[in-house]
Structure 1
Amino acid sequence: MLTFRSSILLTGAADTPQYNTLIVVVSFLANMTVLLGVSALVERAPENLAKLSPWPFCGCILVGIAAIGGAGIWFAGPALSASLVIGSTLCGVGFGYLWGSWADVLGRVHPSRTALYAPASFLLTTIIFLAVDSLAALTPFPPLALMAPLPIASVLCLKRCRTESSQPSVLLAPHRTESQRYLAALTTLVPLIIAALVFSCLFGFMWETAVLSVNSASTAHELPLVLNFVVAVLLLAFTVALQRRVNLSLVYQLLIPIAIVLFAALPFFWNVHPVVLNAIMSAVHGVFDVVIWYLVATAAYDYAVSGFVIGGLVRALSILARLVGIGIGYLIMLLPEVAGYAVVGVCIGAVYLLVILLWFLWHNAKRSVPGEEAEGRMAIGEATGDGNANPHSSVSDPSSVLAAPTAVKATDKAAADPASTSPVAESISTSATAEIDGAEAINSEEVVFALLADDYGLTRREAEVLPYLARGRSAKVIAEALFVSESTIRTHTRRILEKTCLHSKQELIDLVEKY
């Protein structure tokens, strides 16, 4: 949104729809380049992200908005265009880094919290820009002074969140390489990526046609900001009220068909006012941005990968599609007499693509995901005559390695100190041995759950649910323990049973016992 609202900085000869389009296009290109470049570095070595200080990127944004704001005052002609291009490039570099960094932070947070953070961030953003617009229009404060604190505040919050959030301990898949986990995470996001391409292209198209129709970027943004605020309030209220009652992942995915209905109605608003069309499109895209944030962060959390890489790829493709939409809108508006028909045609094409996407989601949901690899290992055990064969029986129990030094120390102490054979000492020794045995049992269970999750390709949240199911806990108890809805737990349970090719919780308990 900060990229689109950079138009508030334009003054004098720079305050034209054409220059505003130039700012958006150049900024998006730089944004996309940084996202892909940093993602490649992080995918190669995750510690590379920590080596990049956010302050230089914040400095890029500050210098960039200064160049954009001063272009119409200080320059004219080619120098004006050069100042806008340089400023837009610097802003895009900073925006790309901040977007990816926040995706990385949210990727470390449990999805039950991300479900609240994403709509709350959407609401906060709309409030900030409504305030900036109002202050710029009603007070003598220069827009540059109003926008300069925003990237600084974002960096301060980012550094605070990085220090407070750490990667939670999870049941990882030790036999999966990091590249395999990235591939698995991206595979789950294929429908989202397709939807992002369609939504973003249509949004860029509608935005460009609205700006050129009213010949003012500021006018084209006024109503969308207000409508975005209303939608953000409703979305956050909905999330808070129903977080513990419904599966928010499923709800967010169901927002796509709702958007299709809105898209089908969009062409009928074109003859009324293009700004109304842009406002509806902007509100829908704002909700879709929340969906992107949530699903990207969830995929990063589930597969223990960097949210910068996953989010950076999705965001870069979304930006590319939006630039294509802006280009189509600009070309169409060169022929105003066919603009209305072109809008209808583009909307019909978008609806068609989204209907195809829904069919893909429905068809994919009907397919089960068998745990072929682990099932094959169990079959090998049965073929050798050991019905309870453990595919990891050759792997030594790490808990025994941890317990060995303790046992040696206790034996040495008993030999050196005759008093240790007294009844009191024997009681203490028995108690200590029981505690060690209990710790070994807990460690052994954790190893079993980790191996089972690895063999059957369970995601992080499915692996979190697995121990509760193995102990026979109900969906209600698990939901209360993990602070999610019972519907979410049932979804995870169904997927676990599908991946393990089982049909009941009792069969799952039996499988755990075999391990």
Structure 2
Amino acid sequence: MRMVWKTMRLRHVGMAFFWACSMLTFRSSILLTGEANTPELESIVVIVSFVANMTTLLALAAWAENDPERIDRLPLWPMAAVVVVGLVLVHFAGRVGGGALLPFLLGGAVLTGVGYGAFWGSWADCYGRMHPARTSFYVPVAFLLTAALFLAVSLLAENLSVPAIVLMVPLPVISLVCLVHCRAEVPDGRAVPEGGSKRSLLAVGSLIGLIVASLVLSCLFGFMWELTVFTVGSVNEAHLAPLVANLMVAVALVGLVLYARTRVNLDIAYRIVVPVIVVLFAVLPFFWETNPVALNIIMSASYGVFDVVIWSLVAATSYDFAVSGFVVGGIVRSLSVLLRLIGIGIGFLVTLVPGKPSALIVGVSLGALYVLVMLGLFNWLRHKRKAGAEKLEEGAQTDAFAQLDTSAPDEISETPGEEDAAPAAGAKSTDNTMPAASAKPTASAERADLDDEQALYTTIAEDYGLTRREAEVLPFLARGRSAKVIAEALFVSESTIRTHTRRILEKTDLHSKQQLIDLIENYE
């Protein structure tokens, strides 16, 4: 983690600039003025933008699923261009008013949604090609910068009367520049297209428990957001206090990662925090009439944790399964957006019901809690079955090794040259039983050695920030394999292997393969 901190550059957390711009568009009404500054039109902007966001992500993910290299050929500058045009249209919608208000508003919402969708997928793809040790640190830091930018733009627009459009337009442009530089750092980290669909489904399937939990929270967040907006009467007012909560959460997450000093398994924290949040959400509605913003503060801060966790895991899963982060991120993000829209719809319907909404809020929360309990039970049963299967497999392997050991004496006595090999293994007697006894522990010892060796390579890759492909080449280089042999083993060209080798030497600050071998042998 110290190496990640030292090698981090602003471009590595450039997602924060587009992320802040996206949150300012989706969660704030500072762009809306005049006739457009109403809760109904604010909700329309959010809904239309989310639909366009989700559609763009799914379309591009399907387009790139079997050929991830298409993402590399996708031009980046249109993403920032459509966002800027969309922001301008939304900003001037209230100023033009009249019959042009709705076309300006809808057009701007669609364009911003399309641009943000492309940005989400592109950053997920970029992070998915970096080592998880880096992304588990970059994403929390990006969220911290996002919260700071969000708060700064809101305060400047509210207190100093700086036009929000002037503050927001540079954000996607800066993010674009950072994305271009980050993509240039990992040009050879692209996953092999072979088996793309199956591999992508496996990657998404590995996150199924977390995805369902995040969908529940997304629905609750959208539900709470809509209720707060209509109760307070303004999106911006509803999010003034949650801005500070988001900033505090971001500081805590970055502190956690720095304290851990290694790759943090954030999904464990998320599995704990989601049920706790839902329980609190079921209790707090009883205080709805006294302070409705309190619920939104809790949900906004919780959703900030969700964003950090889910994007860290999307990047790590994409890296581990060697698939495009655009595909995995597109699917996960689209599902969360869909459930958030459903939550917004439920919240809008609740506002139409006369009487106290607290009972309905408790009902929705209890339903969400029920889903999470069923999900937890499902995961527990699945892990129990998996553990049982692993024990059976381990027992079968033990029996196989035992059977091999009992038959070893006769086989060794009949095989030429085996008697000579036995004393070299440590046996002092020529008795046929001795070679079998000396060979017995080799299976478990070999597995332990392989685990230790793999852990060593993983540590080196994390400490020096190697990409997935570079980490795959490292064990071959440690054994002194040639570029030709490595290329045949990994099904890539020799020039690609030479490029990986050169970058490994650059990152480790070494000048030859022998120095690299010495580093690996003496690494602690």
TM (norm. structure 2) is 0.70
Q: CA deviation at 1:469?
A: 4.6
Worse overlay, 133-142 or 466-475: 466-475
Q: Is contact 1:202-1:325 (8 Å) kept?
A: yes
Paired position in structure 1 for 2:53: 31
Paired position in structure 2 for 1:68: 90
Determine which of 293, 297, 300 is the counterpart of 1:279. Answer: 297
Q: Is contact 2:190-2:324 (8 Å) kept?
A: no
Paired position in structure 1 for 2:197: 179
Deviations along 1:359-409, one digit per CA (max 9) or x if unpaired, are 22222222327689x99xx99x99xx9x99xxxxxxxxxxxxxxxxxxxxx
Q: Does 1:473 align with 2:429?
A: no
Q: Is contact 1:122-1:232 (8 Å) kept?
A: yes
Paired position in structure 1 for 2:226: 208
Q: CA deviation at 1:477?
A: 6.0
Paired position in structure 1 for 2:149: 128
> SS where residue 29 of structure 2 aligns?
helix
Determine which of 18, 39, 42 is the counterpart of 1:17. Answer: 39
AA aligned to 1:262 is: L
> SS where residue 8 of structure 1 aligns?
coil
Deviations along 1:185-229, one digit per CA (max 9) or x if unpaired, are 111011122112211111000000000001111110101111111
Q: Is contact 1:126-1:225 (8 Å) kept?
A: yes
AA aligned to 1:102 is: W
Q: Does 1:93 align with 2:114?
A: yes
Determine which of 159, 170, 174 is the counterpart of 1:138. Answer: 159
Q: Is contact 2:31-2:165 (8 Å) kept?
A: yes
Aligned counterparts, 1:90-169, within 5 A: 90-168=111-189
Deviations along 1:451-495, one digit per CA (max 9) or x if unpaired, are xxxxxxxxxxxxxxx9995346399867754549xxxxxxxxxxx
Alignment RMSD: 3.2
Q: CA deviation at 1:269?
A: 3.7
Mapped to 1, the partners of 2:116 and 2:260 lie a distance apart of 32
Mapped to 2, the partners of 1:291 and 1:245 lie a distance apart of 13
Mapped to 2, the partners of 1:361 and 1:168 lie a distance apart of 32
Paired position in structure 2 for 1:409: none
Distance 1:205 1:160, change over 3 A: same
Aligned counterparts, 1:237-256, within 5 A: 237-244=255-262, 247-256=265-274
Determine which of 300, 306, 310 is the counterpart of 1:292. Answer: 310
Q: Is contact 1:257-1:358 (8 Å) kept?
A: no
Q: Is contact 1:197-1:318 (8 Å) kept?
A: yes
Paired position in structure 1 for 2:235: 217
Distance 1:2 1:42, change over 3 A: farther
Distance 1:290 1:265, change over 3 A: farther
Q: Is contact 1:32-1:96 (8 Å) kept?
A: yes
Q: CA deviation at 1:243?
A: 3.7
AA aligned to 1:133 is: S
Distance 1:169 1:149, change over 3 A: closer
Distance 1:360 1:266, change over 3 A: farther
Distance 1:470 1:252, change over 3 A: farther
Determine which of 350, 363, 368 is the counterpart of 2:381. Answer: 363
Q: Does 1:48 align with 2:70?
A: yes
Paired position in structure 1 for 2:505: none
Q: Is contact 2:279-2:365 (8 Å) kept?
A: no
Q: CA deviation at 1:252?
A: 4.3
Percent identical residues: 47
> SS where residue 319 of structure 1 aligns?
helix
Distance 1:5 1:256, change over 3 A: closer
Equivalenced residue count is: 398
Distance 1:309 1:234, change over 3 A: same
Paired position in structure 1 for 2:486: none
Distance 1:104 1:263, change over 3 A: same
Mapped to 2, the partners of 1:481 and 1:467 lie a distance apart of 21
Q: Does 1:226 align with 2:205?
A: no
Q: CA deviation at 1:100?
A: 0.7
Mapped to 1, the partners of 2:267 and 2:188 lie a distance apart of 21
Deviations along 1:419-471, one digit per CA (max 9) or x if unpaired, are xxxxxxxxxxxxxxxxxxxxxxxxxxxxxxxxxxxxxxxxxxxxxxx999534
Question: Structure 2: which 5+ residue stretches go unaligned?
Answer: 1-22, 408-444, 464-524
Paired position in structure 1 for 2:519: none
Distance 1:333 1:483, change over 3 A: same
Q: CA deviation at 1:110?
A: 1.2
Q: CA deviation at 1:104?
A: 0.6
AA aligned to 2:124 is: A
Mapped to 2, the partners of 1:60 and 1:198 lie a distance apart of 31
AA aligned to 2:168 is: M
Q: Is contact 2:28-2:239 (8 Å) kept?
A: no
> SS where residue 337 of structure 1 aligns?
coil
Mapped to 2, the partners of 1:471 and 1:67 lie a distance apart of 59
Distance 1:6 1:249, change over 3 A: closer
Deviations along 1:273-330, one digit per CA (max 9) or x if unpaired, are 1111111101001101111101111111111000100110111111111111111111
Mapped to 2, the partners of 1:140 and 1:169 lie a distance apart of 46
Deviations along 1:5-60, one digit per CA (max 9) or x if unpaired, are 45210000100010100000000000011001100111132121122212112111
Distance 1:65 1:247, change over 3 A: closer
Q: CA deviation at 1:258?
A: 3.6
> SS where residue 368 of structure 1 aligns?
helix
Worse overlay, 246-255 or 15-24: 246-255
Mapped to 2, the partners of 1:116 and 1:96 lie a distance apart of 23
Mapped to 1, the partners of 2:370 and 2:87 lie a distance apart of 39
Q: CA deviation at 1:75?
A: 2.3
Mapped to 2, the partners of 1:169 and 1:94 lie a distance apart of 23
AA aligned to 1:199 is: L
Q: Is contact 1:12-1:72 (8 Å) kept?
A: yes
AA aligned to 2:216 is: V
Deviations along 1:219-267, one digit per CA (max 9) or x if unpaired, are 1010111111111111110121024396445344433344344334432
Distance 1:73 1:473, change over 3 A: same
Mapped to 1, the partners of 2:44 and 2:103 lie a distance apart of 11
Paired position in structure 2 for 1:353: 371
Question: Structure 1: which 5+ residue stretches go unaligned?
Answer: 389-465, 485-515
Q: Does 1:57 align with 2:87?
A: no
Q: Is contact 1:7-1:20 (8 Å) kept?
A: yes
Q: Is contact 2:39-2:235 (8 Å) kept?
A: yes
Paired position in structure 2 for 1:490: none
